[in-house]
Chain A
Amino acid sequence: NAGVTQTPKFRILKIGQSMTLQCAQDMNHNYMYWYRQDPGMGLKLIYYSVGAGITDKGEVPNGYNVSRSTTEDFPLRLELAAPSQTSVYFCASTTPGWGLNTEAFFGQGTRLTVV
């Protein structure tokens, strides 16, 4: 069971370049999330999805786009990379309905540097 898989693990982008951060989960989870984590800070929610075809903005959506064509995949797109997007990006997934012992499983992160 792979859990949540993020690719790539590391990436360096030039200002203005575009890229897609991939996230896939094999747990049949409906809810998926994208976060960014700046050094010494907490996780800020970028976008989330409660199922295939449904996405919604989080706390810091500007400069990003997402799609959810399947239950398994939730890619995050950066169209015009800016230095302010230098961060570590985490994808997470969980089952619907928050209750005791409902875990959100996180990927290992993608470390992105924009120069």
Chain B
Amino acid sequence: GESVGLHLPTLSVQEGDNSIINCAYSNSASDYFIWYKQESGKGPQFIIDIRSNMDKRQGQRVTVLLNKTVKHLSLQIAATQPGDSAVYFCADPGGSNYKLTFGKGTLLTVNP
């Protein structure tokens, strides 16, 4: 079936460094992608999203890049802080069928 997935299960960075979290998707018809952050013991929280007609979208300290040619997207976090430590998921609503599906996730650990 169609799915989204992540390249790396864990990522450890130093405070102040930039972080890059990657995600591959398989459904070439996917129109919309979302990044979520899940802190320990909590539900996922929306970070940023992007539509398939965009290559890049920026938020506060975060940037999402979309490469439709290789079906890959990435989340870049600038000046990573300890509060950024969490699991990050990319997700795909699957176009018109409304099924919001998630990849396995990347655990980001920020070292002080």
Point out residues on A near B: beta carbons under 8 Å: 4, 31, 33, 35, 41-45, 48, 50, 58-59, 90, 92, 94, 98-104, 106-109
Within the complex, which residue of A35, A98, A106 is in contact with B32, where a contact is CB–CB below 8 Å?
A98
Contact of A42 with B89 in the complex, beta carbons under 8 Å: yes
Asked whether A42 and B51 contact (CB < 8 A) given A98-B31, A99-B32, A108-B42, the answer is no
- Set of chain A residues within 8 Å of B56, measured between Cβ atoms: none
Checking B43, B50, B89, B103 against A107 with a beta-carbon cut-off of 8 angstroms, the contacting residue is B43
Partner of B43, one of A41, A45, A90: A90
Complex: A35 Cα to B99 Cα, angstroms: 11
7 tightest A-B CB contacts, nearest first: A106-B43, A98-B93, A103-B46, A43-B102, A42-B102, A42-B104, A98-B32
B79 at the interface (CB under 8 A from A): no
Q: Chain B: interface secondary structure?
A: loop
Q: Which residues of B contact A33 (CB under 8 A)?
A: 100
A sample of 9 cross-chain residue pairs with beta-carbon separation below 8 angstroms, ordered by A number, consists of A48-B100, A90-B43, A90-B44, A92-B100, A100-B51, A100-B57, A104-B44, A106-B43, A109-B42
Known A-B contacts A42-B89, A98-B93; the reply to A104 vs B100 at CB < 8 A is yes
- The answer on a CB contact under 8 Å between B101 and A102 is no
Known contacts A45-B101, A99-B51; 12 additional CB pairs below 8 A are A4-B43, A42-B89, A42-B103, A48-B98, A59-B101, A92-B44, A92-B100, A98-B31, A98-B32, A98-B93, A98-B98, A101-B49
